[in-house]
Homo-oligomer: A and B are copies of this chain.
């Protein structure tokens, strides 16, 4: 792998939007994950039905879906593409955290891992925004790609965002 070239850089070392014109159109899917840690009381407020958990979670989920569609505008070398599915799920992760799982899918020539990662990141940022008045010390952590299928590089899967053991 050390011998590999970065595909976004042409011969003169310039970042460019690489040519994917001739790549095969296949069904592609990617799943990403983010976590946000917070004070247990903050999580309790979200979980607590008297406190309107629904909207905190719903707002973050919608923000993540919307962000997935804007990935080409946020990440300079990303290609525009036609996402055919975006889902964002948010679950509790222990006493002090929420876990965001996103899946993006399309029939196209480019992978969708950036879209899944962007959705997860923006959903996490939105959770932060919705709760920052009561907990400024929240930390977004462990944004990573969990699974990817459908491209030339084959199927990829990892268990967790911890760096792979074989490294």
Question: Which residues of A does B touch, CB under 8 Å?
Answer: 1-2, 4, 6-10, 12-21, 27, 37, 39, 41, 44-45, 51-52, 54-56, 58-59, 61-63, 65-70, 72-89, 96, 105-109, 113-114, 117-118, 121-122, 124-126, 128-145, 148, 153, 156, 158, 161-164, 167
Contacts and interface: CB of A to CB of B under 8 A. Distances in A.
B134 A1 contact: yes
Contacts of A108: 82
Nearest to A156: B136
- Give this chain's copy count: 6
Nearest to A65: B17
B163 A137 contact: yes
Contacts of A117: 125, 128, 140
Contacts of A74: 63, 66-67, 70, 74, 122, 125
Contact of A79 (B19, B82, B158): B82
